[in-house]
Structure 1
Amino acid sequence: MKRQARGGGPTTAGASSAHGTAQRQTGTTDAAAPQLRRRLGRADLRAVPEARRALRELLRHWGRPGRSEVAELLTSELVTNALIHTDDDAVLTATVGPRGVRVEVRDFVAGRPRPCAPGSGEATNGRGLVLLESLADAWGVRAHGVGKSVWFELDAEAA
């Protein structure tokens, strides 16, 4: 079942829509849980494959077959979006818990991501949020005092 956090306080969850605004906890974060945390340099697109490699290592023995590849794909989309659409650094955090993984990319620009129609033909832009919506078990956007975090969660055993 797809979940997307939205509206209200920090633990609300609701029906799927284009924008989530609140964080939803599913037990994927734990102080002792394996975690990846990387600072991504401004406009440094070399960070995208590096983030994928680091996440692949973190998720080496996690979840059903194919789940870590979905996590890698969605992470690369979030990292790319943060580096292309902002003019500042970003921070990638991935936490593995007993029920799933939560990946969050925080940037320091207040503008919220806006889904757009994917480009036609061989164009590769415009697909990030569409992929997030279709592949993540939950996702959303959380505002910070400065900037925002776009996050997603994947259940370890989902098909």
Structure 2
Amino acid sequence: MMDTVKAPPGPTEHIRQLMLRDAPDPVSRSRDFTRRALAAWAWPPGAPWNPQRRQQVEDVLLLVCELVANACVHAGGPTRLVLRSRGERLRVEVADRDARRAEPRRADAPGRPGGYGLLIVEELAQAWGSTRGAEGKCVWLEIRAYA
């Protein structure tokens, strides 16, 4: 006879989705939606609430705004925002209408304003990328709660 040991349950996965196709003011809507989701999930996890945790929420809000704004300016507009939280990990996905791969702007055009959103994403996110979809692409990023 063999004993079976059950693994303890892992952290709960939370998922929220906001449809953005042709929505007015998608950047503000996405920021507000994300703020509410993070508050409902008590993300980042841990206690007590402190300035470092507050800064991480602000970083996530900035990242969401950058991805959505990038979709507005360079990819025909965002169609969907998906947030996935599991324990310390948070994944943000923004789908858009353009199948071209997302690439950060490099220093090839100094003096031109704007265009540096994905460089901010590279700096603050632990990982990011883009995948082609049926109607465009999905730009995603992952971030972990600070230790």
TM range (shorter): 0.7 to 0.9
Corresponding position of 2:38: 59
3-state SS in 1 of match to 2:13: coil
Residue 86 of structure 1: CA displacement?
2.4
Greater Rg by CA: 2
Matched letter for residue 136 of structure 2: G
TM-score, with length taken from structure 1: 0.69
Q: How does 1:117-136 map to 2 (within 5 A)?
A: 117=106, 123=113, 125-136=114-125
Q: For the Cα contact (< 8 Å) 1:43–1:88, is it kept in 2?
A: no
| Counterpart Cα distance in 1 of 2:69 and 2:81 | 11
After TM superposition, the runs of 4+ consecutive aligned structure 1 residues lying more than 4 A away are 118-122
Q: Which moved more, 1:57-66 or 1:91-100?
A: 57-66
Matched letter for residue 50 of structure 1: R
**Which of 141, 145, 148 lines up with 2:137 in the alignment?**
148
Q: Please say if 1:33 is aligned against 2:13.
A: yes
Q: For the Cα contact (< 8 Å) 1:34–1:58, is it kept in 2?
A: no
Q: Which moved more, 1:85-94 or 1:101-110?
A: 85-94
Residue 88 of structure 1: CA displacement?
4.8
Q: How does 1:9-158 map to 2 (within 5 A)?
A: 33-42=13-22, 44=24, 46-60=25-39, 61-63=42-44, 65=53, 66-117=55-106, 123=113, 125-158=114-147
| Counterpart Cα distance in 2 of 1:81 and 1:105 | 10
Aligned residues: 126
Taking only aligned residues, the RMSD between alpha carbons, in angstroms, comes to: 2.4
Corresponding position of 2:47: none
TM-score, with length taken from structure 2: 0.74
Q: For the Cα contact (< 8 Å) 2:102–2:129, is it kept in 1?
A: no
Which residues of structure 2 form unaligned runs of 5+? 1-10, 45-51
